[in-house]
Structure 1
Amino acid sequence: MYKGETVGVVVPAYNEAGFVGEVIETLPPFVDRAYVVDDRSTDDTWQEIQRTADRVNNRSETVYSNQIHADGGQVFSPRIEAIRHDRNRGVGGAIKTGYARACEDGMDVVAVINGDGQMDPSILDRIIDPVVEGRAEYAKGNRLSSREHREGMSTWRLFGNTVLTFLTKFVSGYWRMNDPQNGYTAISARALETIDVDRLYDGYGFCNDLLVHLNVHDMRIEDVEMESQYGDETSHIRYSTFVPKLSWLLLQRSIWRYNTKYVVADFHPLVFLLALGLAGAGAGVFFAGWSLASAGVVSVQGMLSVIVILLSGLFVTLAMVFDRLANERLQPRVNEPVGRGDR
């Protein structure tokens, strides 16, 4: 228990033998329960999880769940619960399994620490503080806040993260959020009960998808500064499939969020600006290319197409400004006090 709140931790793991055991061993003592989910690994990850869980549980104090026996007694639950999928579902699927177990046990705050050793369990208190203290319903790590924090990140990884950050800002509506792929997170029980967790993406776009759902339900979030940390672990992301799948997911979720928040729930003129901007940009590019291909030189039609493209860019920019203003309250600055009654 931490500051009067019960804390659960989900540890998704896929082929993390040699790393996941240390993650389990180094979880802070205030963690009430850990749900270590093996996503049908093909190495010794599951055996390592079982051995470590048995060792930690044997020396842990008795932990009780919120379930009740028929005779009125409480149900004993081990501090470390080892779970194995019957098939590979993806990191998002593993997290969803852990979330479901944590909700069943009545955890107040549920964090996620990946099983690859890239996340330092000793800073877990910093990650969950915004949720425990009522400032946010969701908190996540941010490795892009300063040059020192980005030092362990390769140039390619930093470039990709920067591009994905901007796209996720546009799609999710959290314009002051950075490092959306950071999986070191904490979420409140209220948020888990409100959003449709089963609908979330099972793959590596899970974190981006979760942000969109949180925004649709007007949930506050907060970034927590942390250093990037990389070791000998191997990335399981296949960029040839990850990029197109995530792009399609972001497109779908963008249409869903803007329609849900600004058409269905409460109409906002920004949808006109966004629609005109995107349609105009597409038409402008098409006619500019057609004019150049037909005449071989820059024509009057080509110049008009450029003007249309510039105006379209202005419309899209205005739509983004309105979206940022509409969501400003969902990402208060750290020094802005937010009580539980304001959430």
Structure 2
Amino acid sequence: MYRDHTVGVVMPAYNEEGLIGDVILTIPEYVDVIYVIDDCSTDGTWEEIYEAAKQDEATELEDQQGKTSKTVFADGGGLLSNRAEVYDQIERVVPIQHRENMGAGGAIKTGYLAALEDKIDITVTMDGDGQMDPDYMPRLLDPIVEDEADYAKANRLLYREFREDMPIFRFLGNSILTFLTKVASGYWKTMDPQNGYTAISNYALENVGIEMMYEYYGYCNDLLVKLNAKGMRVADVAVPAIYGDEESSIDYTTYIRKVSVMLLQNFLWRLKVKYLVLDFHPLALFYVFGALMTTLGMMGLGWSLYAKFMLGNSLFVRGSTSILVFSIGSMFMMFAMLFDMQVNESKEIQVRA
């Protein structure tokens, strides 16, 4: 336990032979249970998980009577058992094997479902490739233990020295997705949304609708949107990243396309749920009106240029009107973003180094 709170670690693994075993063995002793999800690996990952579990010498999870407690899943053949085979706990490790490959988000979702069954107080997610230093885990746990946040996530972008080892293409892509996720989620101070080193309280996990969580690589972004719609508090925690010999399995062309579409859908869903259904705030109308005006302005400017160069018509009146409409729409969008920042300001904290 960590400060009187049970802690579980969800660790997805796909073809992490040579890495996953070392990561399991470095998990701090205060962690009560480690859910390791093998996402149908084709190498020796599954065998390495078992070998590392047997070597783990940490004390097993005990109940109040001091007897060894085993992991029990009672979803009655529900979502968890339909998607994965959950094996007997070995020391702290619960080996879980997917019935079919579901991707990183799918593995995290499986681990979250298992943690919910066990009623773990705080559930941490970290990759099985060694990029996340377990020594920084208390920085993620403390905001939740101290009731300052319902969800905490690592941030590699806050300090230059924390991101200096990040490849440039990752930094640029992450920066773009950071801005898009700010708009979609409403957490305007939160950065590095792709970071999978996170911690979530049992309360947030129970109420965020984890059964509907996005299962592709954008699951982190999707979860932030759902947390905001439910009014959850988020802590953005400065934590450096470690880059070694691991290889990314992400197809960035597919990744950018899928995540961008998902963020747009989630943004519209959040506006509807948070500002129209559960409560009312004019910022939703500002967003809609602003988007309509900017679109009409751009279309009008395009038609004005066509009429000028192809038909010989005057550009001034049409062009000026289009620019004015575009400017008014942009102003409405900016006001909407400002209102969104004000509404969510109290829901965010930053934990600096």
TM-score by length of 1: 0.92
Is the 8 Å Cα contact of residues 140 and 237 (structure 2) preserved in structure 1? yes
CA apart distance, 1:46: 1.2
Matched residue pairs, number? 328
Task: Measure, in 2, the Cα distance between the counterparts of 1:111 and 1:63.
Answer: 17
Q: Does 1:60 align with 2:42?
A: no
State the superposition RMSD in angstroms. 1.7
3-state DSSP of counterpart to 1:320:
helix
CA apart distance, 1:62: 3.3
Q: 1:320-341 deviations in whole A, cap 9, x for unaligned?
A: 0001101111114559xxxxxx
Name the counterpart of 1:178. 191
Picking from 287, 294, 301, the partner of 2:318 is 301
Name the counterpart of 1:191. 204
Provide closer, same or farther for how the CA distance between residues 272 and 62 of structure 1 changes in structure 2, counting only shifts above 3 A: closer
Task: Measure, in 2, the Cα distance between the counterparts of 1:123 and 1:60.
Answer: 19
Provide closer, same or farther for how the CA distance between residues 113 and 236 of structure 1 changes in structure 2, counting only shifts above 3 A: same
Structure 1: runs of 5 or more not aligned? 67-71, 336-343
Task: Measure, in 1, the Cα distance between the counterparts of 2:39 and 2:332.
Answer: 44
With 119-128 and 181-190 compared, the bigger mean Cα shift is at 119-128
CA apart distance, 1:193: 0.8
3-state DSSP of counterpart to 1:97:
helix
Q: 1:212-268 deviations in whole A, cap 9, x for unaligned?
A: 010011000101101121111001110111111111100110010001111111111
Is the 8 Å Cα contact of residues 20 and 48 (structure 2) preserved in structure 1? yes
Task: Measure, in 2, the Cα distance between the counterparts of 1:51 and 1:65.
Answer: 26
3-state DSSP of counterpart to 2:206:
helix
Provide closer, same or farther for how the CA distance between residues 155 and 73 of structure 1 changes in structure 2, counting only shifts above 3 A: closer
CA apart distance, 1:134: 1.1
Provide closer, same or farther for how the CA distance between residues 26 and 325 of structure 1 changes in structure 2, counting only shifts above 3 A: same
Q: Does 1:35 align with 2:35?
A: yes
Name the counterpart of 1:69. none
Task: Measure, in 2, the Cα distance between the counterparts of 1:73 and 1:243.
Answer: 46
Corresponding letter in the other structure for 2:11? V
Task: Measure, in 2, the Cα distance between the counterparts of 1:298 and 1:114.
Answer: 56
Task: Measure, in 1, the Cα distance between the counterparts of 2:237 and 2:318.
Answer: 50
Is the 8 Å Cα contact of residues 65 and 105 (structure 1) preserved in structure 2? no
CA apart distance, 1:299: 3.1
Name the counterpart of 1:25. 25
3-state DSSP of counterpart to 1:110:
strand
3-state DSSP of counterpart to 2:36:
strand
3-state DSSP of counterpart to 2:184:
helix
Is the 8 Å Cα contact of residues 65 and 75 (structure 1) preserved in structure 2? no
Matches within 5 A, 1:68-217: 75=70, 77=89, 78-217=91-230
Provide closer, same or farther for how the CA distance between residues 61 and 282 of structure 1 changes in structure 2, counting only shifts above 3 A: same
Is the 8 Å Cα contact of residues 236 and 349 (structure 2) preserved in structure 1? no
Structure 2: runs of 5 or more not aligned? 72-88
Task: Measure, in 2, the Cα distance between the counterparts of 1:110 and 1:252.
Answer: 27
3-state DSSP of counterpart to 1:224:
strand
Task: Measure, in 1, the Cα distance between the counterparts of 2:351 and 2:42.
Answer: 42
Task: Measure, in 2, the Cα distance between the counterparts of 1:60 and 1:220.
Answer: 32
Q: 1:2-45 deviations in whole A, cap 9, x for unaligned?
A: 11111000011111111111110100010000000011111211
Is the 8 Å Cα contact of residues 10 and 112 (structure 1) preserved in structure 2? yes
Q: 1:133-169 deviations in whole A, cap 9, x for unaligned?
A: 2110000000111111110112221111111101100
TM-score by length of 2: 0.89
3-state DSSP of counterpart to 2:2:
coil
Matches within 5 A, 1:252-271: 252-271=265-284
CA apart distance, 1:102: 1.3
3-state DSSP of counterpart to 1:37:
strand
